[in-house]
Amino acid sequence: MFDMTWTGRVRFGAGVSAQVGELLRSLGAERVVVVTDENMERLGTADRICAHLEAAEVHSCVFAGVEPEPSVETTDAVAELAREHDCQAVVGLGGGSCMDVAKAVSILITNQGSAAAYQGQGLVKVPGVPKIMIPTTAGTGSEVTSTAVLSRKGDGFKGSISDDRLRPDYSLLDPELTFTMPPKVTASTGMDALVHALEGYTSRQASPFSDLFAREALTRIGKWLRIATWNGKDLEARSEMLLASFYAGVTLANAGVGACHALAYPLGGSFGVGHGCCNALMLPYVVRYNVPARSDRYAQAAAWLGLGTEGWPDREAALACAEGLEDLVEDLSLPRKLSALKAGIEEKHFDALAEVALGMADFLENNPRPLDKKACIALYKEAF
């Protein structure tokens, strides 16, 4: 038995973001807040979206201060801006950080208090205002999930608002908007998508439905991530990676993630390391740890990633999956060791990091092989 979860309407194709104004009109919104970051403002992408809104006679105010690891405090500030301008809808423009903040703002407009009050499962009482997500990266899948991951500046806690009311009404997947991603961002967000697909495929909650999307995501990422990273103007590569990110997001929404995410979260929350980078670094070590529990699934994933392991015994192919992931991380010029991050991480921090990772109970329960504190610390040491 399994459940299938879907997002709202999804439109894909070059130039599809131009439809944002007419869609907001169809949702009954005349005033909207655009949630984005300084990069989208600097590159002129935010101006392009606002021009589409103006053409549809939708009035907009823009918040362009979302940080890479978005905070509760920033989210509360955007919500206050939206209330001041009597906004009737929210547009999330950018990567996962911008979209997560946008989704949270949509429910804060109609619910009282700080975003911190809703970090947890199903705590939102009143439906939010309509929301449209326009991703400009290909990795987080935030445009199809019901979560918003936020950190608290006060205590460094990083946790999710998880509620079906966060699901977007529309997601506009326009590969042309991903042309501006530099190689490092393309690589790290692409690896984030890979982790979503692989952890979803090997999750204890995996189903025939989520497996379909995991296969489509992994096949595309194995073929196109390197090309998209080093030849960013290749429209086919950008299109395939944006689709892969979407498929991986559907996998994530239906099957969850596992130990790699649990171990990566505290690295981002405590040391400010980008989420995709943390996931990419920890993944090969987690895969090797998990091989005894699901060698069959990792063997299949290796084939989908194009590692040439068809016909190999499951264990050999599964271990080759971990090696292939290490090669991919190296080809993408992403760090393979915690010590290479230059973020101040030392072995003395592993105990505290492991404690935080163990607090990600939902992730660890999905993992095919159980982890205790000793195992978490051992994985951090191996990755150091």
- Work out the angle at residue 214's Cα, subtended by the Cα atoms of residues 17 and 296, and round it to the nearest 5 degrees: 170
Q: What is the mean pLDDT of residues 150-170?
A: 88
- The yes-or-no verdict on residue 12 having pLDDT over 90 is yes
Q: What is the mean pLDDT of residues 76-85?
A: 97
Which segment of 37-51, 317-331, 338-352 scores lowest on mean pLDDT?
338-352
Strand bridging mode 31-35 / 120-121: unpaired
pLDDT of residue 343: 80
Helix (H, G, I), strand (E, B) or coil at 369: coil
What are the DSSP E strand ranges found in the chain? Answer: 9-12, 31-35, 59-63, 89-94, 120-121, 131-135, 147-151, 158-162, 170-173
Helix (H, G, I), strand (E, B) or coil at 370: coil
Exposure letters 19-34 (e unless 16+ CB within 10 A, then b): bbbebbeebebebbbb
Q: Are 35 and 98 in contact (CB under 8 A)?
A: yes
pLDDT of residue 174: 98
pLDDT of residue 350: 94
State the Cα–Cα distance between residues 323 and 381, nearest whole angstrom.
18
Q: What is the mean pLDDT of residues 146-160?
A: 85
State the Cα–Cα distance between residues 236 and 310, nearest whole angstrom.
27
Question: Euclidean distance between the first and final Cα of the chain, in Å?
Answer: 40
Give burial (CB, 10 Å; 0-12/13-18/19+) of 269: buried
Dihedral of the CA atoms 345, 351, 353, 358 (nearest 10)? Answer: 160
Give the pLDDT band (50/70/90) at residue 29. Answer: very high
The residues, any chain, with a CB within 8 Å of residue 162's CB and separated by 6 or more, are: 120, 121, 122, 146, 147
What average pLDDT is seen over the chain? 95
Structure confidence by residue, pLDDT tens digits, 293-303: 999 999 999 99
State the Cα–Cα distance between residues 261 and 367, nearest whole angstrom.
10
Give burial (CB, 10 Å; 0-12/13-18/19+) of 155: exposed
Give the pLDDT band (50/70/90) at residue 153. Answer: confident
